Structure 1
Amino acid sequence: MAGSLDKLNRVRLSGALATALVLALVLGPLAVVAGRAEFGARLGAADWAALRFTLLQASLSALISVGLAIPVARALSRRDFPGRGALVLLMGAPFILPVLVAVLGLLAVFGRAGLLNSALLWAGFEPVSIYGLHGVVVAHVFFNLPLATRLILQGWQAIPGERLRLAAALGFSPRDMARHLERPM
């Protein structure tokens, strides 16, 4: 019993250290730049607005990308269907497309005269705007979702088949499978 508590404490400590390291790597450079700035050169309202916008769009992009990547990767790792390999291969397209081509493609679908707004107008709904926060998040999700899906999928495909069979033989529920096999990967 004491050994398992020791292990749990080591895991928590390593998690806390990793979190502290990431925070130091993110906030450290910002603190150094702010500290070396001239005394009269403080961040103005526009600077704070840009920082807030950046943090908001980055957080939304990351949450949406990972939130969608987990079920997609889970479906791809658990099911074999015709075209699965082609779909995984197609997820590499955002990385080989020039950024300008990808942006023009997003505008062709989501722009003012894009396919989505044309369909919405035809159906009698208000058009949506891709310009501003929505557009930045859509563009980031376009690039980040395939990457997150492929990384999670690779982790789950690395789980040995014997562990999956053993978990099935032990009667693991889907929640237990996620907790003990998938989440650690």
Structure 2
Amino acid sequence: MPQYEKADIERRMNGAVESLKSDLGGLRTGRANTSLLDPVVAEVYGAMMPISQVATVSAPEPRMLSVQVWDKSNVSAVEKGIAKANLGLNPMTDGQTIRLPMPDLTEERRKDLAKLAGEYGEKGKIAVRNVRRDGMESLKADEKKKEISEDERKRLEDEVQKMTDSHIADIDAAVEKKVQEILTQ
């Protein structure tokens, strides 16, 4: 039974790219984006829970996020969670609704965010390269066990390399798009 599975390698590389896109979505540009609060957790009912499980997050205006907390007793916990996340947002509470106006980004903050986007991109590339390494190792193991020929191994290694190059190009494009967004808005 050969170890190498093209579908598994493709799935894992796609997962690395999707994870990067999710991380980039959390980086703040000048516009309000509900994914900005995805990593934020609040201590409610004795446990740390993502805000999305205790409230509805929306962007009613281009520069404003609104967090509608479902249970009134959790409002202060959600507010504390947002403050602890260190996103540079100043929560304003009105009953069960927390409004988060988006402050203007300074030039320095834009550069920091662009640099962070690049770091996320590097992590994504490392993940894709690790998947490539696993694929190459399983091909060599299959050849050693005489399950595939040397020519077949080389052909499949080229296939893995093409998948790797394609996914790294996707990562570069996503990072470049995000950096442009950060620097221009």
TM more than 0.5: no
TM-score, normalised to structure 2's length? Answer: 0.27
Query: Which structure features the higher share of helix residues?
Result: 1
TM-score, normalised to structure 1's length? Answer: 0.27
